[in-house]
Chains A and B, each alone.
Chain A
Amino acid sequence: MTPDAATAKEVVLRLSGITKRFGALVANDAISFRLNKGEVLALLGENGAGKTTLMNILFGHYVADAGSVEVFGQPLPPGAPRAALAAGVGMVHQHFTLSDNLSVMDNIRIGTESLWSTGRSKTVVRAKIQALSQDFGLLVDPDARVGRLAVGERQRVEILKALYRDVRILILDEPTAVLTPQEADALFDTLRRATAMGLSVVFISHKLHEVMAIADRSIVLRHGKVVGEVETHATDRVSLAAMMVGGHVDMPKAETRAAGPALMRFDRVTTPNRGAAPGLKHVDLQLCAGQIIGLAGVSGNGQAALADLISGLVRPSDGALWIRDEKVGAWSPRQALRHKIGRIPEDRHKTGTVADFNLTENAVLESYTQAPFSQRGWMNWRAAETFARDIISRYDLRCPGPDIRIRLLSGGNMQKLILGRVLEAGPKIILANQPVRGLDIGAIAYVNAQLIAARDAGAAVLLISEDLDEIMNLSDVIHVISDGRLSPAFPRGTKTQTELGLWMAGQGFEGGQHAA
Chain B
Amino acid sequence: MRLERITNPSLARQLGFPAAAILATILVAMALAALAGANPLATLGQIVTGALGSKLALMETLNRATPLIFTGLAVAVAFRARLWNIGAEAQFYAGAIVAAILGTGALGSPWALPVTALAAMLAGAVILLGPVLAKTRLGVDEVVTTLLLNFIMLLFVSYLLEGPLKDPMGMGWPKSAALIAEARLPRLLPGLRLHWGFGIAVLAAVAIWIIQIRTTLGFEIRAVGANPEAARFAGMPVNAVMVKTALLSGGLAALGGWSEVAGLKGHLSLDLSPGFGYTGIIVAMLALLHPLGVVVTAIFVAGIFVGSDAMSRTAGVPTYIADMLLASALLFMVLGILLTKVRVVRG
Contacts and interface: CB of A to CB of B under 8 A. Distances in A.
Interface of A: 23, 63, 78-79, 311-313, 332-334, 336-337, 343, 345, 350-357, 361, 365-366, 368-369, 374, 377-379, 381, 408
B298 to A, nearest CB: 26
B230 A333 contact: no
Contacts of A350: 227, 229-230
> Closest 6 interchain pairs by CB?
A334-B235, A333-B235, A79-B347, A365-B234, A63-B347, A354-B227
Contact of B215 (A78, A334, A336, A377): A377
Contact of B237 (A334, A343, A354, A366): A334
B7 interface: yes
Q: Is the interface of B mostly helix, strand, loop or mixed?
A: helix
Contact of A351 (B7, B223, B233, B347): B233
Given A354-B226, A379-B214, 6 more contacts: A345-B233, A350-B229, A353-B227, A365-B234, A377-B217, A378-B215
Contacts of A78: 347
B40 to A, nearest CB: 40
B235 A337 contact: yes
Nearest to B237: A334
B219 interface: yes
Nearest to B346: A63
A332 B233 contact: no
Contacts of A378: 214-216
Contacts of B214: 378-379, 381
A311 B233 contact: yes
A368 B347 contact: no
Interface in B316-334: none
20 contacts: A23-B7, A78-B347, A313-B232, A334-B235, A334-B237, A336-B235, A343-B233, A345-B233, A350-B227, A353-B227, A353-B230, A354-B231, A355-B227, A357-B222, A365-B234, A366-B235, A377-B215, A377-B216, A378-B214, A378-B216
B237 A355 contact: no
Contacts of B231: 354, 365
Contacts of A355: 226-227
Nearest to B233: A351
B3 to A, nearest CB: 13
Given A354-B223, A356-B226, A366 B234 contact: yes
Contacts of A343: 233
A379 B216 contact: yes
Nearest to B222: A357
B7 A379 contact: no
Nearest to A407: B5
B293 to A, nearest CB: 18
Contacts of A313: 232-233
A352 B235 contact: no
B223 A357 contact: yes
- Most chain A CB inside 10 Å of its own CB: which residue of B219, B223, B233: B233
Given A63-B347, A78-B347, A79-B347, A361 B229 contact: no
A336 B226 CA distance: 23
Contacts of B217: 377
Nearest to A24: B7
Contacts of A79: 347
A374 B229 CA distance: 22
Contacts of B227: 350, 353-355
A356 B214 CA distance: 18
B216 A352 contact: no
Nearest to B210: A378
Interface in B170-229: 214-219, 222-223, 226-227, 229
Contact of A333 (B7, B234, B346): B234
Given A78-B347, A354-B226, A374 B234 contact: no
Nearest to A311: B233
Contacts of A333: 232-235
Contact of B219 (A23, A336, A361): A361
A351 B214 CA distance: 24
B230 A351 contact: yes
A23 B8 CA distance: 11
Contacts of A337: 235
A121 to B, nearest CB: 36
Contact of B230 (A312, A352, A408): A352
Contact of B216 (A332, A356, A366, A369): A369
Contacts of B233: 311, 313, 333, 343, 345, 351-352
A379 B227 CA distance: 20
Contacts of A351: 229-230, 233
A368 B7 contact: no
Contacts of B232: 313, 333
A332 B230 CA distance: 14
B236 to A, nearest CB: 8
A350 B230 CA distance: 6
A222 to B, nearest CB: 25
A3 B214 CA distance: 70
- Most chain A CB inside 10 Å of its own CB: which residue of B216, B222, B223: B216
Contacts of B215: 377-379
B58 to A, nearest CB: 37
B223 A365 contact: yes
A361 B7 CA distance: 19
A213 B81 CA distance: 52
Contacts of B234: 333, 365-366
Nearest to B227: A354
Contacts of A354: 223, 226-227, 230-231
A312 B229 CA distance: 13
B219 A368 contact: yes
- Most chain B CB inside 10 Å of its own CB: which residue of A334, A351, A354, A369: A354
Contacts of B346: 63
Contacts of A312: 235
A324 B216 CA distance: 31
B2 to A, nearest CB: 9
Contacts of A357: 222-223, 226
Contacts of A336: 235
B136 to A, nearest CB: 15
A309 to B, nearest CB: 13
A320 B226 CA distance: 34
Contacts of B226: 354-357
B203 to A, nearest CB: 19
Nearest to A80: B347
B228 to A, nearest CB: 10
Interface in B55-76: none
Contacts of A366: 234-235
Contacts of B230: 350-354, 365
B212 to A, nearest CB: 11
Interface in B229-266: 229-235, 237
Nearest to A380: B214
Contacts of A353: 227, 230
A311 B216 CA distance: 22
A193 B234 CA distance: 48
A425 to B, nearest CB: 12
